[in-house]
Amino acid sequence: MEWSKEQIKKILFVITYALVVLVVVLNFETALGLVGKVFVLLTPFIVGLSMAFILNVIMRGIEQKLLPDQLKKFKRPVALLMSLAIVLGLIFFLLFLVIPEFTNTIEIVSEKLPDAAKRFETWSLGIIGDLPIDLPDLEIDWSKITDWATAFLSKGSSALFSTTLGITSSILSAVSILCLDLCLPSICYL
């Protein structure tokens, strides 16, 4: 039986693929660490591409709908500045309006949780009492559960706040660098 070059290439590809999968399976933790390192290296590029995509969508809408055709030379920079202003306005809205309200909501929920837990306990005991089944006595310490839930929610909100703050500072530094890049050449030519 004679093998064509295409068949040999396919067989070699399958053997190579099987060997790579075998090595990955045998060294799973190392492979997982390598994937993590590659992801860490690619994260700035992914964030940059995401920001560019979002800004480009906003810029196109501004260029096509808001700016007149007389501004041909300045249409793109003006649209960029307007889209940056919109994005910064949204970030400002998130930082100073949404997150404080989210924190207030978490505080209100943590205050109301013990009362709701007691009402749930009486309701569930009423339903269980009507069943013809003997259940062992369960002692539930609702104060511990409430303390745990409050601590969990407060840690989660602080993590959300710190993540939002990190993203905002990254965006603001990128915007300031972009503004400096746009403004410095024009100042130098004056």
Q: Which of 9-23, 71-85, 114-128 has the lowest mean pLDDT?
A: 114-128
Highest mean pLDDT among 48-57, 71-80, 167-176: 48-57
Give 71's DSSP letter.
G
140 plus 102 within the same structural domain: yes
Q: Which of 30, 33, 80, 43 is nearest to 60 (CA)?
A: 80
Residue carrying structure tokens 């410095």: 184
Average pLDDT across the chain, whole number: 79
pTM over 0.85: no
Three-state SS for 68? coil
101 plus 152 within the same structural domain: yes
Boundary of a domain, candidates 17, 34, 66? 66
33 plus 78 within the same structural domain: no
Give the residue ranges of DSSP H helices in the chain: 5-26, 28-61, 75-93, 99-130, 142-188
148 has pLDDT over 90? no
Tell me the residue range of the domain where 97 lies: 72-190
**Rounded distance between C-alpha atoms, residue 14 and residue 23, angstroms:** 14
| Percentage with pLDDT > 70 across the chain | 77
Report the pLDDT value the prediction gives residue 190, as an integer from 0 to 100.
45
